[in-house]
């Protein structure tokens, strides 16, 4: 069981990540105002001291703690570390993403230092964005200088300000003014804020002050406490949190996540750059993902290059276990090249023109964001050419190897999102091919049959939808594809005819009552009470009535599918097991 200390943006994200497992956990907040909806978690509210925490953890068999509390909750962090030491469990510290400090920011170690810094810089009019709990900490300043505090518009916050003796006419509220409008109205000489990270709107506060040309004072976040007998894993985003839980409590998630080829290539390039510039060979390197969070990736080294062996987790991926290498040399500019086993684009429709290595836009940007030096990076995959034959690449017009891809940097197991993303890319390529029609099919078998109807179309015009019929048609409409032919075999067609736009067996099964209704609609009276598979209907329905039944099925499918393509024309072809094609 996992115990989360939340009440923050990070706490809410942590709950969402843990809910993905389907397993139960506990989510602790100090007050009821911080409660959130949990799919599989249980709330526990009210502040607990360490002895109460220990009792709770023993009673509920807590084996892992996720500390997602506010970075300035110093006492709580100390109590959590004390707790972890007593019950001998690890901590995942889910922290925030902190922007770097620029030269125009005056850093303060604590509030006493902040007061000294404010006075040293001659600040007499201050807007404090540090929260109601810091009013007493800054009292020596505001008793002598003009100061406003922005607080939450809650009774408890107002009571806290009054208890500290702060003048109520100098209180301003989040709900009424953003930072920019407050600065314009109050005309302070400076703002002071906590180092609260991106989720604490740090960037918004700093940007507003810079635009107004006023000074910025920042109280630095406290260091996280340490203890010799407590293991603490630091993460700053949802992907890192899930990977840490998978490592520390493997059974919590029935399926484990993995890394994209883009993340692997980026990690290898970072490691090779570190080796080239410093001579060091760390066993893992930090990689900043597209969402801004950082994860550590294991790397290895050989003569002249660094490598990452791709771990796909439990996602069925033919690239699992392959070696992705990066060779880095100094250069007068930054460039990324494709070496052995990395495919090349041969048709338009991708992020880069034909002839470029099949390293997509996001992985390239990841390498640029993670590596500041001007270097020449060559990515290679020794097994890439062989593995590519088992991917979509030949169909897409990518030759010679695999693609270096990935949008989030992380692969979730059996990710519907990833499959739909691949469909979108195929549809983009199909449109870019210049074909006047795109033919979508459930798989290779149906495609072979339909190709005989459209021998003049290029290979790129044929796209597999798997089970995601609704998503594929929606994408076609978004891309303004005017003519779409859909080939569908009877097993998926009877599900689609009943309105199931995702025909995967984990979402829907054949509805025999509905099939019986379609038979009656076609004027066919046969017994299907013992029907197991839809394709058996091809043998049971009299040959002379097959077209009648096919027409009914196609019309029902069109009822749900055609509205998804309002700007185009949809043709539906029903295919039997022998390749015969039925039109409506």
Given 411, 431, 449, which residue is the final one in a domain?
Answer: 411
Q: Which two tokens stand for residue 530?
A: 């013992």
The mean pLDDT value for 273-292 works out to 94
Q: What is the largest CA-CA distance in the chain?
A: 97
Residues 335 and 472 in one domain: no
Q: Percent of the chain at pLDDT above 90?
A: 59
pLDDT band at 426 (very low <50, low <70, confident <90, very high): confident
- Over 80: is that where the pLDDT of 353 sits? yes
* The total number of structural domains that make up the chain: 4
Exposure string of 282-312, with b = 16+ CB inside 10 Å and e = fewer, is beebebbbbeebbbbbebebeeebbbbebbb
Q: Are 476 and 431 in contact (CB under 8 A)?
A: no
Average pLDDT, the chain: 89
Report the relative pairing of strands 438-441 and 300-302 from DSSP bridges: unpaired
The mean pLDDT value for 121-133 works out to 93
- Over 90: is that where the pLDDT of 309 sits? yes
Report the relative pairing of strands 483-489 and 581-582 from DSSP bridges: unpaired
* Least confident span in 49-58, 329-338, 353-362, 417-426: 417-426
Our measurement of the distance from residue 61's CA atom to the centroid of its chain's CA atoms, rounded to an integer in Å, reads 30
Q: What is the pLDDT of residue 505?
A: 55
The mean pLDDT value for 336-352 works out to 88
Calpha distance 148→219 (Å, rounded): 17
Calpha distance 564→414 (Å, rounded): 25
- Over 60: is that where the pLDDT of 412 sits? yes
Helix/strand/coil for 243: helix
| Three state DSSP letters for 543-574 | HHHHHHHHHHHHHHHHHHHHHHCCCCEEEEEE
Q: What is the pLDDT of residues 95-118, one digit of tens each?
A: 999 988 888 899 999 999 999 999
Q: What is the pLDDT of residue 310?
A: 92
Which residues, at least 6 apart from 456, have a Cβ–Cβ distance to it below 8 Å? none
Q: What is the pLDDT of residues 73-98, one digit of tens each?
A: 999 999 999 999 999 999 999 999 99
Residues 91 and 156 in one domain: no
Residues 509 and 560 in one domain: yes
Q: What is the pLDDT of residue 507?
A: 61
Residues 577 and 441 in one domain: yes
Residues 241 and 374 in one domain: no
Q: What is the pLDDT of residue 177?
A: 60
Given 411, 443, 458, which residue is the final one in a domain?
Answer: 411
- Report, in angstroms and rounded to the nearest whole number, the Rg of the chain calculated over CA atoms: 30
- Over 60: is that where the pLDDT of 506 sits? no
Residues 88 and 161 in one domain: no
Residues 163 and 296 in one domain: no
Q: What is the pLDDT of residues 27-73, one digit of tens each?
A: 998 876 556 777 788 888 888 899 999 999 999 999 999 999 999 89
Q: What is the CATH number of the domain that holds 357?
A: 3.30.2110.10
Q: What is the pLDDT of residues 161-207, one digit of tens each?
A: 989 999 999 999 876 568 898 999 999 999 999 998 888 888 889 99
The mean pLDDT value for 408-423 works out to 75
Residues 121 and 67 in one domain: no
Domain enclosing residue 133, as ranges: 105-219
Our measurement of the distance from residue 411's CA atom to the centroid of its chain's CA atoms, rounded to an integer in Å, reads 9
Residues 120 and 20 in one domain: no
Q: Are 366 and 288 in contact (CB under 8 A)?
A: yes
Q: What is the pLDDT of residues 221-246, one digit of tens each?
A: 999 999 889 999 999 999 999 999 99
* Least confident span in 10-19, 170-179, 534-543, 544-553: 170-179
Say what the alpha-carbon torsion angle 329, 333, 338, 340 is, to the nearest 10 degrees.
Answer: -20
Taking alpha carbons only, the member of 134, 130, 13, 1 closest to residue 68 is 13
Q: Percent of the chain at pLDDT above 70?
A: 97
* Least confident span in 204-213, 383-392, 514-523: 383-392
Q: What is the CATH number of the domain that holds 17?
A: 3.40.50.720
Q: What is the pLDDT of residue 535?
A: 82
Residues 436 and 550 in one domain: yes
Residues 552 and 429 in one domain: yes
Which residues, at least 6 apart from 213, have a Cβ–Cβ distance to it below 8 Å? none
For helices 490-497 and 512-521, the axis angle rounded to 10 degrees is 90
* Least confident span in 146-150, 395-399, 554-558: 395-399
Q: Are 568 and 484 in contact (CB under 8 A)?
A: yes
Helix/strand/coil for 343: coil
The mean pLDDT value for 375-404 works out to 88
Given 359, 387, 411, which residue is the final one in a domain?
Answer: 411
DSSP state, 234?
Answer: E
Calpha distance 380→325 (Å, rounded): 5
Residues 444 and 315 in one domain: no
- Over 70: is that where the pLDDT of 455 sits? yes
């Amino acid at each position: 069981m996992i115990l989360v200390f939340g009440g923050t943006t990070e706490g809410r994200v942590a709950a969402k990540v843990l809910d993905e497992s389907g397993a139960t956990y506990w989510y602790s907040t100090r007050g009821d105002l911080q409660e959130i909806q949990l799919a599989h978690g249980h709330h526990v509210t009210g502040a607990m001291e360490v002895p109460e925490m220990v009792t709770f953890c023993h009673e509920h068999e807590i084996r892992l703690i996720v500390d997602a509390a506010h970075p300035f909750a110093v006492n709580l962090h100390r109590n959590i570390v004390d707790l972890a030491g007593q019950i001998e469990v690890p901590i995942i510290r889910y922290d925030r993403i902190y922007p770097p400090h620029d030269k125009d920011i005056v850093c303060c170690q604590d509030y006493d230092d902040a007061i000294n810094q404010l006075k040293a810089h001659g600040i007499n009019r201050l807007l404090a964005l540090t929260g109601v709990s810091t009013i007493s900490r800054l009292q020596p300043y505001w008793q002598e200088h003009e100061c406003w505090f922005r607080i939450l518009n809650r009774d408890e916050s107002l009571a806290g300000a009054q208890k500290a003796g702060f003048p109520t006419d100098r209180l301003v509220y989040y709900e009424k003014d953003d930072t920019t409008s407050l600065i314009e109205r109050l005309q302070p000489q400076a703002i002071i804020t906590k180092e609260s990270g991106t989720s604490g709107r740090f960037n918004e506060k700093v940007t507003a002050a810079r635009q107004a040309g006023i000074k910025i004072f920042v109280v630095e976040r406290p260091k996280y406490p340490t203890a010799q007998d407590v293991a603490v894993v630091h993460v700053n985003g949802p992907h890192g949190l899930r990977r840490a839980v998978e490592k520390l409590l493997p059974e919590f998630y029935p399926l484990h996540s993995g890394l994209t080829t883009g993340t692997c290539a980026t990690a290898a390039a970072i490691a090779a750059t570190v080796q080239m510039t410093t001579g060091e060979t760390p066993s893992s390197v930090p990689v900043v993902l597209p969402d801004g969070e950082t994860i550590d990736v294991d790397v290895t080294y050989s003569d002249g290059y660094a490598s990452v062996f791709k771990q796909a987790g439990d996602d069925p991926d033919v690239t699992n276990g392959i070696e992705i290498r990066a060779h880095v040399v100094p250069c007068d500019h930054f460039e990324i090249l494709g070496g052995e086993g990395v495919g090349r684009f041969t048709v338009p429709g991708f992020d880069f023109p034909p002839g470029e290595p099949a390293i997509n836009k996001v992985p390239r940007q990841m390498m640029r964001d993670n590596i500041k030096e001007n270097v020449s990076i060559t990515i290679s995959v020794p097994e890439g050419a062989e593995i590519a034959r088992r991917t979509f690449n030949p169909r897409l017009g990518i030759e010679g190897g695999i693609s270096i891809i990935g949008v989030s940097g992380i692969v979730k197991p059996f990710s519907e999102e990833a499959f739909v993303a691949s469909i979108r890319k195929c549809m983009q390529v199909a449109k870019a091919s210049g074909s006047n029609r795109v033919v979508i099919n459930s798989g290779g078998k149906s495609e072979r049959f339909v190709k005989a109807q459209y021998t003049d179309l290029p290979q790129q015009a044929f796209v597999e939808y798997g089970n995601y019929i609704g998503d594929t048609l929606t994408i076609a409409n978004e891309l303004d594809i005017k003519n779409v032919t859909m080939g569908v075999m009877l097993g998926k067609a009877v599900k689609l005819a009943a309105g199931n736009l995702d025909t995967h067996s984990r979402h829907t099964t054949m509805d025999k009552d509905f099939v019986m209704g379609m038979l009656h609609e076609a004027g066919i009276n046969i017994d299907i009470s013992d029907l197991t598979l839809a394709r058996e209907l091809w043998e049971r329905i009299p040959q002379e009535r097959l077209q009648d039944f096919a027409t009914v099925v196609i019309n029902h499918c069109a009822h749900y599918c055609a509205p998804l393509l309002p700007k185009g024309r949809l043709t539906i072809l029903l295919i039997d097991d022998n390749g015969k094609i039925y039109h409506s």
